[in-house]
Amino acid sequence: MMQTRVLGSTGPAVSALGLGAMGMSGAYGPADRAESVATVHATLDAGVTLFDTGDFYAMGHNELLLAEALRGRNRDSYQLSVKFGMLRGPGGGFGGHDNRPEAVRTFLAYSLTRLGTDHIDIYRPARLDPAVPIEDTVGAIQEMIDAGYVRHLGLSEVDAATIRRAHAVHPVADLQIEYSLLSRAVEAEVLPTLRELGIGLTAYGVLGRGLISGHWSAGRAAGPGNARGLSPRFADGNVAHNLALVEALRRVAGAAGCTVAQLAIAWVAAQGADIVPLVGARTRERLAEALPALRLHLTAEDLAEIERAVPPGAARGDRYPAAFMSGLGVGN
């Protein structure tokens, strides 16, 4: 049976592991559509109920893919988490953010149509729009909640002060933010704020975009269209250092009788029952590896060994390219 966790004090009960679908729409190079659909089906069959997407993932491609994969399934058997507000051009480049109330309603209308559903379970701005007060954005989402088009309010990649301002307008179910052994800035101020306010956390990047999956190797090229090619942590001069951390982690995983990926996922899940890791599996093989992580019990000694293998701040390189770092609520 799949474990469940509740997203905060006001959010839904979801599977203890969620699927982040971004990689199925070309973020890390070409993806096989049939295999992506089969992976979503296998995810559902395994009891996973939480699916995360964004309307800007390949300009709607990801939502359409999920709609195809989820067609015919009981709508009450899964939850859709959708991010909005990132602007993109026809060439795929990013062009800022738009979190104005009128944009919220427009983006939502398009997402509902592409996903083939009458409601979104958790709707969230992908990033803070510096030109729009968060209260205005949240107010627009609250209107959509009152109208029945959205069930819960979420946030993404914002700081503690913004969380408090948003939560004062309408209860926030969860914050989606990068959290892994390589990215722990959330622990200083954001995570305590979430717990004070009764807000859950959905953690993406738990495998560092594959860097700490145990499957990446030094000298491997990211390839055309693969976002890893722009990631400072995969850059020459950084990747060898970061992979040395993975090898230290591999020794701990071997002693625990699991894979590096399973250990990294289990570590995030062990940081609190209010945290739901999102895995970006885009094949059934990677999904099958990730699922047993939920059954892995990490003792205090295991957690100490993991800390020694990958201490906080040990990663080399920012978690995003410089142009994107300024839009994040917390750093690395």
Tell me which residues are annotated as active site: 57
The Cα-based distances of 166 to 32, 202, 240 in angstroms read 38, 17, 40
Look at the alpha carbons of 252, 254, 255, 261 in this order and tell me if their dihedral is positive or negative: positive
Look at the alpha carbons of 249, 208, 162, 105 in this order and tell me if their dihedral is positive or negative: negative
Find all residues with CB under 8 Å of 47, minimum gap 6, and list them. Answer: 1, 2, 15
- Spatial contact of 33 and 65, defined as CB atoms under 8 Å apart: yes
Q: ∠ CA(59), CA(64), CA(66), 5° rounding?
A: 120
- Spatial contact of 44 and 302, defined as CB atoms under 8 Å apart: no
Q: Say which residue the tokens 């970006």 belong to.
A: 280
Hey, what's the torsion of the CAs at 231, 154, 313, 321, to 10 degrees?
20
